[in-house]
C-alpha cells in the first residue's frame, strides 16, 4: 500500500526559515533529551545539549531543515542532508535527524511527515537508526514499508564504533 499523496488535515511540513533557527534549536534540545537515554550525550555547562551543525542548514545547499506543525502548533522537525553518512555516497538523501514531540506520537503524524519529506527529495535514501533504539527501529521499519509498499529490511552496519540499522529505499518523488 502506497502512502497518501497529501498530508492529513491539520498536518503541515514546511522548510524552516533562517529566522526560525532558534525554534529548531529549542526542538533539538527536546530531541537530545529524549536521545540522551540511548546515546552518550552530555549537557554543556550552560544546561543545553546544543547541535553544532544547525547553522549549516541555512548556509549549505546540501542541507534542508523542516518544521512539522499540527493544527498550527509545533509538533517536530526533520533535517535532511545530501550524502550518506554510512557509505559516503554523495548522491544519497540522508534523514540526518527526525523528531516528533511525544504528544503527537502514535497518531500517524510522524509517518505522514516523513513520507512528505521523502516525496520532496526523489532518489535514493538511507535512514540510520541506532541498533539499541527499538522504538525508532519499529517506527522507521513501518514508515519506510508503508512508503515503499514493501516490507522494509534494514541492514546492520558499524560506523565510528556505533552499530546502525540502515534502511535503504528509493523515493519516486511527488505524484502531484
Q: What is the reported pLDDT for 1? A: 42
Closest among 135, 107, 125, 134 to 166, alpha carbons compared: 125
Tell me the pTM.
0.87
Q: What is the pLDDT of residues 90-143, one digit of tens each?
A: 999 999 999 998 777 787 888 999 999 999 999 999 998 888 888 888 889 999
pLDDT at 3 over 60: no
Locate 87 and state its grid cell. 557509505
Structure confidence by residue, pLDDT tens digits, 18-68: 999 999 999 988 877 776 566 666 666 675 667 788 899 999 999 999 999
Top-level class of domain 11-171 = alpha beta
In Å, what is the CA distance from 159 to each residue of 22, 88, 96, 129, 165?
Answer: 30, 11, 15, 12, 11
Amino acid at each position: 500500500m502506497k502512502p497518501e499523496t497529501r498530508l492529513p488535515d491539520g498536518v503541515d511540513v514546511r522548510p524552516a526559515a533562517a529566522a526560525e533557527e532558534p525554534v529548531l534549536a529549542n526542538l533539538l534540545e527536546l530531541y537530545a533529551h529524549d536521545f540522551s537515554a540511548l546515546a552518550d550525550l552530555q549537557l554543556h555547562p550552560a544546561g543545553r545539549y546544543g547541535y553544532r551543525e544547525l547553522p549549516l542548514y541555512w548556509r549549505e545547499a546540501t542541507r534542508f531543515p523542516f518544521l512539522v506543525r499540527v493544527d498550527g502548533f509545533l509538533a517536530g522537525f526533520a533535517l535532511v542532508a545530501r550524502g550518506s553518512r554510512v557509505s559516503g555516497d554523495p548522491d544519497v538523501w540522508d534523514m540526518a535527524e527526525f523528531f516528533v514531540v511525544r504528544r503527537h506520537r502514535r497518531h500517524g503524524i510522524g509517518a505522514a511527515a516523513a513520507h512528505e519529506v521523502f516525496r520532496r527529495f526523489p532518489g535514493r535514501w538511507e535512514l540510520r537508526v541506532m541498533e539499541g533504539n527499538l522504538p525508532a527501529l519499529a517506527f522507521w521499519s513501518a514508515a519506510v514499508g508503508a512508503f515503499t509498499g514493501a516490507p522494509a529490511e534494514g541492514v546492520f552496519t558499524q560506523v565510528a564504533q556505533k552499530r546502525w540499522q540502515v534502511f535503504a529505499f528509493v523515493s519516486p518523488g511527488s505524484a502531484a
